[in-house]
Chain A
Amino acid sequence: MPVPNNEYHIPRIEAAEFGHNDRIDLHLASESALPYDQIKLAREAVTLATSGSMEQPIPAQPEAEIPTFAQLRQVGINLRAFSKYEVDSRINLFSNDEAA
């Protein structure tokens, strides 16, 4: 297993912290972030794997940062918080419109 690099961070967003004022409270684990060129390298690496299966090795694997399991889980939390916010804010918009 590759050693996860702690320099990569994914912002920590809790669904419960979403308000309806277009503001998200963030709890950043650190100030560091994955540089854009690293993301580009990672993108190219996976795009090269056109076999249609994650079980196949990626050819010409560049140096890409591997996030920790906690960071990967945070991705899921963030994504579902984003979608929940979209759905909730539309419902809220509908309710406000009807009330007016």
Chain B
Amino acid sequence: MPSVFRKALQLLTGVEDQSSLLKLPKKRPFKALTERELIQLESEIGAELFGPIPAGNRREFFCLDAITWIWYEESTDVETGKQKSTTTRYEIHDNGILKAQEGAQYSFLEGDELKNLSLAIQMYYEQVARKIYKRDPRTGQKLA
């Protein structure tokens, strides 16, 4: 199939050696990170905000969209050896933060959990803005 493509290109361009036409220019540092991959990078920072992750566990904490934050915790039960995971979705509304968990009722956050999440979001923003997007979190401007 590639030879058919080359022949077609040769017919169109009139150039016999197509190798130079088929290569992307190297001078352009094109890093095709998708938004999803950027969020995964954010999550690596987010997971570390709460201290070391126990061996064998996995944690994700990231901002999914303007109002949704995801907390994911995966661990292995020491006694049974079974893996268990919890996904918690936090939605930020005008009147509070709604917590949604599988198999649990929606509830508005209060007390320590509300305080901890608020602080975590602040820290996440501060670190992600600087480390990933190279922006000043106070102004949003690109860092020099």
Interface string of A17-38 (1 = CB under 8 A from B): 0000010101000000110000
Give the segment of B7-15, B34-42, B76-84 that binds chain A.
B34-42
Q: What residues of A have a CB within 8 angstroms of the CB of B65 in the complex?
A: 76, 80
Contact of B139 among A11, A49, A97 (CB under 8 A): A11
CB atoms of B50 and A46 under 8 A apart: yes
The chain A residue with its CB closest to the CB of B97 is A69
CB atoms of A94 and B35 under 8 A apart: no
User: Taking the nearest CB of chain B, how far is it from the CB of A79, in angstroms?
Assistant: 5
Question: What is the number of residues of chain B that contact chain A, defined by CB distance less than 8 Å?
Answer: 61
Q: What residues of A have a CB within 8 angstroms of the CB of B110 in the complex?
A: 1
The chain A residue with its CB closest to the CB of B57 is A52
Q: Is the CB of B103 closer than 8 A to any CB of chain A? A: no
Interface residues of B (CB under 8 A from A): 25, 28, 30-35, 38-39, 42, 49-54, 57, 59, 63, 65-69, 71, 73, 92-97, 110-126, 128-129, 132-133, 135, 137-142
Question: Can you list 7 A-B pairs with a CB-CB distance of less than 8 A?
Answer: A2-B115, A13-B140, A24-B140, A39-B122, A76-B69, A82-B132, A93-B28
Interface residues of A (CB under 8 A from B): 1-2, 8, 10-11, 13, 22, 24, 26, 33-34, 39, 42-43, 45-58, 61, 64, 66-67, 69-70, 72-73, 75-80, 82-84, 86-87, 90, 93-94, 97
